[in-house]
Amino acid sequence: MPNPTAAILIIGDEILTGRTREGNAHHLAGVLVQHGIDLRQIRVISDDAPTIIAAVRELAGAHDHLFTSGGIGPTHDDITADAVAEAFGRHIGVREDARAILAAHYAARGVEFTEARLRMARIPDGAALIDNPVSGAPGFSVENCHVMAGVPNIFQAMVAGLVPRLAGGKPLISRNWQLMVAEAAIADELRQLAADHPEVSFGSYPFVTDGRYGTNLVARATDEAALAAAYTALQAMFPEGQ
């Protein structure tokens, strides 16, 4: 059976205007690989309701899972929860279970539970809550769409709670072999290697260090034996690597 597929949708003008360098997608990509879920696309869009609704419908429809990051805080620019509800045709309002979680979180810390904070208890009907051990306000899953906060430590905590509960597949495993030669110098051999090992995906990533050209060759596969055979062949073909 093939691995489940996924897309990540990052919502936030701060990425598109160059203010913030996005890191949540990179974190989640690493977690999904380990869990055997194949990440097919990462998309970054602005805080615009019609754009979010269209992207959620498209990406949730085309993948087994869609993970979103950003736009579920208490301020006027946090419109993700409402947009996701609309994308799935669900009603959204303050939900008692989410309200109770926030009330307990703030009571334990002596923080006032204001109207603005209550906004974070707005959850689409039928959604399952995603635990937020950092700041209380939960994320949620509607069907195959998992809605999480954009603040990196909260996003990571939500991912840690959510992903292990999802059905996974075969983890993609990879081996790296580094050569201090330009990529073009090994292109023909590498093409042959890729043809000889169709179950293994070979990537080549050039770099320059201290004015010298180098290439990282990465072999990836879900089958451990196929990867081991390809990696042995790779090492034999380029014995000067490490």
User: 235 exposed, middle or buried (CB, 10 Å; 0-12, 13-18, 19+)?
Assistant: middle
Report if residue 115 touches a copy of itself, rule: CB under 8 A: yes
Stretch that binds a copy of itself, among 85-93, 121-129, 187-195, 224-232 (CB under 8 A): 187-195
Nearest to a copy of itself of 125, 224 (CB atom): 224
Give the gyration radius of the chain's Cα atoms: 22
Which of 128, 129, 194, 233 is close enough to bind a copy of itself by CB under 8 A? 194
C-alpha–C-alpha distance, residues 80 and 207, integer Å: 39
Helices within 2-63 (DSSP H only): 13-16, 24-35, 49-62
Report if residue 183 touches a copy of itself, rule: CB under 8 A: yes
Q: How does DSSP classify residue 32?
A: H
Nearest to a copy of itself of 182, 228 (CB atom): 182
Report if residue 39 touches a copy of itself, rule: CB under 8 A: yes
Sheet containing 201-209: order of strands: 173-179, 212-221, 201-209
Report if residue 17 touches a copy of itself, rule: CB under 8 A: yes
For helices 187-196 and 224-237, angle between their N-to-C axes, nearest 10 degrees: 150
C-alpha–C-alpha distance, residues 71 and 44, integer Å: 12
What minimum distance in Å lies between the beta carbon of 126 and a copy of itself?
26
Return the residues of window 124-143 that contact a copy of itself according to CB under 8 A.
none
Return the residues of window 210-229 that contact a copy of itself according to CB under 8 A.
218, 220
Report if residue 164 touches a copy of itself, rule: CB under 8 A: no
Report if residue 18 touches a copy of itself, rule: CB under 8 A: yes
- DSSP strand pairing (201-209 vs 173-179): unpaired
Nearest to a copy of itself of 39, 142 (CB atom): 39
Nearest to a copy of itself of 27, 90 (CB atom): 27
The SS3 assignment for 136 reads coil
Site size for a copy of itself, by CB under 8 A? Answer: 67
Provide the token pair at 87: 């994308």
Stretch that binds a copy of itself, among 85-93, 125-133, 206-214, 228-236 (CB under 8 A): 206-214
C-alpha–C-alpha distance, residues 224 and 221, integer Å: 7
CB 57 within 8 Å of CB 23? no
Nearest to a copy of itself of 126, 133 (CB atom): 133
Which residues of this protein are in contact with a copy of itself, per CB under 8 A? Answer: 10, 12-23, 25-27, 29-33, 39-47, 51, 73-77, 111, 114-117, 119-120, 151, 153, 172, 174, 182-188, 190-191, 194, 201-208, 218, 220
